[in-house]
Amino acid sequence: MKRVARMLIAGLAVSSLLAGCASGVKHAEMEASIPTLKQGDGRVYFLRSASMFGAAIQPDLRLNNEVVGESKPGGFFFVDRPAGKYVASASTETEKTLSFVLDAGETKYVRSSPSMGLMVGRVVLELETPEKAKADLASLSYTGDVVKAPAK
């Protein structure tokens, strides 16, 4: 009986972790339907590998203090913004930031990765190379909203 109880508890734990992972349309399936950039805009992709490590840590991701999505394991989304200076951030027990310049027509890739924290895990942000990001994107699921223009 104890063995059955342990298996049930283990199954529930795995199910709850998997529930936090991204599900939906894969990048490879929707790539052709992603709109082209408007003149003067750049695109920022946010992506996170599908790892069970830190799966429960899914903070909001911000771009210049505006929430643009969540850091979900196995997920990606993108936002189009005018050329300029940007600060991406994620906050759990501490805020992690990443500053970069986005040029017109340019695409940046921001990877969010969980790491150990003092009390709670953290999400660290870093710029990813286009080659590595594009290779990873094919297996990731879209977690963004319907594509929309930024708030003015």
Q: What is the CATH number of the domain that holds 116?
A: 2.60.40.1120
Residue 147: inside a domain: no
Looking at the structure of the chain, the number of domains it has is 1
Residue 151: inside a domain: no
Residue 23: inside a domain: yes
> For residue 60, what pLDDT is reported?
92
> For residue 5, what pLDDT is reported?
39
Q: Are 50 and 22 spatial neighbours (Cβ–Cβ below 8 Å)?
A: yes
> Measured between alpha carbons, how far is 112 from 77 in angstroms, rounded to an integer?
12
What percent of the chain is predicted at pLDDT more than 70?
Answer: 77
Q: Between 50 and 97, whose confidence is greater?
A: 97
Judge whether residue 29 has pLDDT over 80: yes
Q: How confident is the model at residue 51 (pLDDT cuts 50, 70, 90)?
A: confident
> For residue 24, what pLDDT is reported?
74
> For residue 9, what pLDDT is reported?
38
DSSP assignment letter at 31: G
Q: Are 112 and 90 spatial neighbours (Cβ–Cβ below 8 Å)?
A: yes
Helix or strand or coil: residue 127? strand
pLDDT digits (tens, 9 = 90+) for 71-130: 999 999 999 999 999 999 998 878 899 999 999 999 999 999 888 766 667 789 999 999
Q: Residues near 34 by Cβ (< 8 Å), separated by ≥ 6?
A: 78, 147
The boundaries of the domain holding residue 84 are: 2-142
Give the pair of three-digit tokens for residue 35.
């709109």
Residue 148: inside a domain: no
> For residue 100, what pLDDT is reported?
98
Residue 152: inside a domain: no
Residue 28: inside a domain: yes
Q: What is the pTM of this model?
A: 0.77
Backbone region of residue 113 per phi and psi (left: phi > 0; alpha: psi in -120 to 50; beta: other values): beta
Judge whether residue 18 has pLDDT over 50: no
> For residue 21, what pLDDT is reported?
52
Q: Between 106 and 5, whose confidence is greater?
A: 106
> Measured between alpha carbons, how far is 22 from 58 in angstroms, rounded to an integer?
11
